[in-house]
A and B are shown apart, each in its own frame.
Chain A
Amino acid sequence: MTEIATRLVRNAVGVAGLVFLLLLVVLALAAPLLYPGDPWRMVGSPQLPPLSPGFPLGTDALGRDVAAGVVHGARISLLIGLVSSLCAVVIGTCLGAVAGYFGRWIDDLIMRFTEFFQTIPSFMLAIVLVAIFSPSIGSIVFAIAIVSWPPVARLVRAEFLSLRSRDFVKAAVVGGQSPLRIIFRQILPNAFSPIIVTGSLMVASAILLESALSFLGLGDREFVTWGFMIGAGRTMIRQAWWLSAFPGIAIFLTVLALNMFGQGLNDALNPRLARKGRA
């Protein structure tokens, strides 16, 4: 009885995460309609506290609307989170698949390479990369992807290692199927669910990374981002707490929703593992 209840709750958690994310995507897409024009524009009196008429989240020292910034910021956060995770998953999957399938020296080489990237403090590397290639959406996506792929590669390699010794893969080899066909048709579909789960959790950490970079002033200056808003509001923390509080809450909720969704997805895709916790 309790098991069923827990699973329902777990799934409810995942569904709640998904609903929030969908709302956020709608909000991000609708940003130009809700707050038309440049969110950098001055639209009201400076330093209005939250719940001021017309400015539910207040304004900053230059009279810019915090709410407009938060809504427009969602676009960049989601975009960078999604694209960089996608890149990381593709890089990691390719390397991991090759290492796990072919084994031997190829595996050795790729794994040493992966370990190397895992040893480097990832956030430091991201900072250096973005700083040297000068901040832009492209360089940020690149930097996040470069520091995020190693866990995917390790995961995919482990999956491939275990799957490739399964008898159904041997049967495919004996049946004369080509390595590429075996990788894509036989093994990869069976490794999909952990990859998808990792990917969805990775979007969360990518958003955190992006916001941290923006906070340090390494964001794309063309766009408003949540991290930048917090960084800009930092020096005003004593006078205008809302400048950093609201964008932070936006990051928190988004990342939380992504993690909840990822967890729910994991439970749904691996019911065996999910149950294991309650033996």
Chain B
Amino acid sequence: MTDTLLDIRDLRIALPAGADRPYAVDGVSLTLRRDEILCIVGESGSGKSLLANAVMGLLPGAVRIAGGSLHFDGTDLARLDPEAYRKLRGRRIAMIFQEPMTALNPIMTVGEQIDELLVAHGMTDKASRRRRVIDLLAATELPEPELLYHAYPFRLSGGQRQRVMIAAALALEPDILIADEPTTALDVTTQKQILTLIRDLQARRRIAVLFITHDFGVVAEIAHRVAVMQWGKVVEEGAAADVLVRPHHPYTQRLVAAVHGLSARPELAAHAAEPLLEVVGLSKTFRTSQGLFVRRRREVHALRQVSLTIHRGETVGLVGESGSGKTTLGHAIVRLVDTDAGEIRFRGADILAQGGARLRATRARIQMVFQDPFASLNPRHSVGRILTETPRIHGVGKAEAETRARRLLELVGLDASAFGRYPHEFSGGQRQRIGIARALALEPELIVADEPVSALDVSVQGQVLDLLADIRKRLGLAMLFITHDLRVAAQVCDTIAVMRRGELVEIGPAAEVFGKPRHDYTRRLLASVPGAGWTDRPGTRLTAG
């Protein structure tokens, strides 16, 4: 018996006609050995997910293997008949996916969904199956396995669902576990736990793990070996320790460099400017009521007595996990949601009391940049219209608005010809530039940026962040930068505010918050950042310029 479990040779996967390239995977050769974690790293469109699905024999209908070979433990996978392949799946090769929220059948109990796997692979004794399922749930550190057996997925959090997926995947002690971005949809602290779980289970059971990710931080946490993919090809392969510290291929170097360390930018010292925006004791509770007789109320405290000051020219990073209330705070400042109590003072005036013309004038001073570059631009409007529409409402003449728009396009690094084109003609990064230009069109003093780079690939993230920093400096803007990604926050923010469950738990200069965190939760967040030990090891810091 050899040590090589999976042998991929010169694999080609053809895309249907009309795709942006003929082969999604183009001549990839890789091996996966027993008792190792191989990370395949790449940005969107690199072909990494299709590679994983090809191993499972689960390629989408229009996509097919066009060349090369896939051998699993000596078996040519291409020659397997469907039934034999099915018996392999789940039993010897298992897989978990990116979206735990949708990966489980909503109308089957957790127990049934693991149980059916045991049945499908020939375990007939009901009692022992049940014992096995409960053991598995316990092994993945899920609470109260006996009760959980009968629970439906909607009762579980994302992290818990991913644990159920892992429990099912490991049910029959497979040789290979394929994990396709299993932690991308999770919060950092949950991500940390799941990564630890996978690493522990792998070590204990000595299985092989093929781990697909876009995040070099995650690679640093978990990988033994790394293969970097770009446009369907493996551009670099090697031991994790080597690739992470001494990347050879320029693409790998770029990706590694884009992972910023967790120390604040030294040149951005604390400002002694006057306050621009003051949030004082802001509270907001979302209520949903249901039921006709008994008004069952569900209350979510999105903001609890939040106070925060943004000075002129300052960038405040608002960090926290999903549900922490950071987006609600951003929306409250631009008056997208109403609040229950507290004040928001902009240049001394309480904007919550404003309406009509006064509010419109304030709106021009506080603008917003959004997360999703595909949803933030009206698909039916030309870029020119998007950039001139709001200034025209605020009384700028047509010719003047158009001149300004062209100047803005130049400012955000786009060609002036973009003026007459439509959003769908641009890439994600370019659209985000248009979104930034739109926010600048009203010449604001404060920009609320809600996760402005989260939807972008790492290499594009850097460019957009640089643009934001550059504009900020040139125009003297203040910014509230909302993000879940501490690395990104470290890259652009002067001040860091940490939120959890509607509360602002810590606020201070970036260097202090990252260097000497005072609150317990901040420490936990920092410890959860994947690859923190790698980027911030003294001497080997890989800070981007």
Binding site for B on A (CB under 8 A): 1, 3, 166-168, 170-177, 181, 186, 189-190, 279
Which residue in A1, A173, A279 is a CB contact (below 8 Å) of B336? A173
- In the complex with contacts A168-B377, A279-B61, A175-B393 CB distance below 8 A: yes
Q: Are B60 and A279 in contact (CB under 8 A)?
A: yes
Chain B residues whose C-beta falls within 8 Å of the C-beta of A3 in the assembled complex: 16, 62
Query: Residues of B contacting A175 with CB < 8 Å?
Result: 363, 367, 389-390, 393, 438, 442
User: Whole-angstrom distance from the CB of A177 to the nearest CB of chain B?
Assistant: 6
- A176-B378 CB under 8 A given contacts A1-B17, A167-B370, A171-B438: no
Q: Is the CB–CB distance between A168 and B363 below 8 Å?
A: no
For the complex, give the distance between the alpha carbons of A167 and B373 in Å: 9
The answer to whether B375 touches A167, judged by C-beta atoms less than 8 angstroms apart, is yes
Report which of B16, B336, B366, B380 forms a contact with A170, defined as CB distance below 8 A: B336
Residues of B within 8 A of A170 (CB): 331, 336, 368, 370
Query: Across the two chains, which residue of chain A brings its CB closest to B372?
Result: A167
| A166 closest partner in B (C-beta) | B375
B454 smallest CB distance to A (angstroms) = 13
Known: A1-B17, A279-B62. A174 touches B375 (CB 8 A): no
Beta-carbon contact of A174 and B334 below 8 Å: yes
Query: B-side interface residues toward A, CB under 8 Å?
Result: 16-17, 60-62, 331, 334-336, 359-360, 363-364, 366-368, 370-372, 375-380, 389-390, 393-394, 435, 438-439, 442
With A176-B364, A189-B380 as contacts: A168 and B442 at CB distance below 8 Å: no
Write 8 A-B pairs (CB below 8 A) sorted by A numbering: A3-B16, A166-B375, A171-B376, A172-B389, A174-B336, A176-B359, A177-B389, A189-B380
Question: What residues of A have a CB within 8 angstroms of the CB of B394 in the complex?
Answer: 176
Bound CA span A177–B364, Å: 11
For A168, list chain B residues within 8 Å (CB): 375-378
CB distance from A72 to the nearest CB of B (A): 42
Chain B residues with CB below 8 A from A174, complex form? 334-336, 363, 366-368
Contact status A167-B393, CB under 8 Å: no
User: CA of A176 to CA of B361 in the docked complex: distance in angstroms?
Assistant: 8
CB distance from A172 to the nearest CB of B (A): 8
B273 to chain A minimum Cβ distance, whole angstroms, is 24
Residue of B nearest to A170 (CB): B336
Whether A177 touches B336, Cβ cut-off 8 Å, given contacts A167-B372, A167-B376, is no
- Residue of B with least CB distance to A275: B62
Contacts A167-B370, A171-B376 known; 14 new A-B pairs at CB < 8 A = A1-B17, A166-B376, A168-B378, A170-B331, A170-B336, A172-B389, A174-B336, A174-B366, A175-B389, A175-B390, A176-B360, A176-B390, A176-B394, A189-B380
Q: What chain B residues lie within 8 Å of A167 (beta carbons)?
A: 370-372, 375-376
**A167-B371, A171-B370 known; A176 vs B393 contact (CB < 8 Å):** yes
Residues of B within 8 A of A279 (CB): 60-62
Q: Are B363 and A176 in contact (CB under 8 A)?
A: yes
Shortest C-beta distance, A141 to chain B (Å), equals 32
A81 to B509, CA, bound (A): 68
Q: How far is the CB of A142 from chain B (nearest CB, A)?
A: 34
Residue from the list B17, B359, B379, B393 in contact with A190, Cβ < 8 A:
B379
Instruction: Judge whether A190 and B380 touch: CB under 8 Å.
Output: yes
B368 touches A171 (CB 8 A): yes
With contacts A170-B370, A279-B61 taken as known, whether A177 is within 8 angstroms of B393 at the C-beta atoms is yes
Bound: A167/B431 CA distance, A: 13
Q: Which residues of A contact B439 (CB under 8 A)?
A: 171
Q: Which residues of A contact B366 (CB under 8 A)?
A: 174
Which residues in B have their C-beta under 8 angstroms from that of A173? Answer: 335-336
- Bound-state CA distance A3–B16 (Å) is 10
CB of B275 to closest CB in A, whole Å: 22
**Residues of B contacting A181 with CB < 8 Å?**
393
- Which of A167, A177, A181 has most B Cβ within 10 Å? A167
A189 nearest CB neighbor, chain B only: B380
**Please, which residues of chain B bring their CB within 8 A of the CB of A171?**
368, 370, 376, 435, 438-439
Residue among A170, A174, A176 with the most chain B CB within 10 A?
Answer: A174
A190, B372: Cα distance in complex, Å: 17
CA of A271 to CA of B371, assembled, Å:
26
**In whole Å, how far is A163's beta carbon from the nearest beta carbon of chain B?**
10
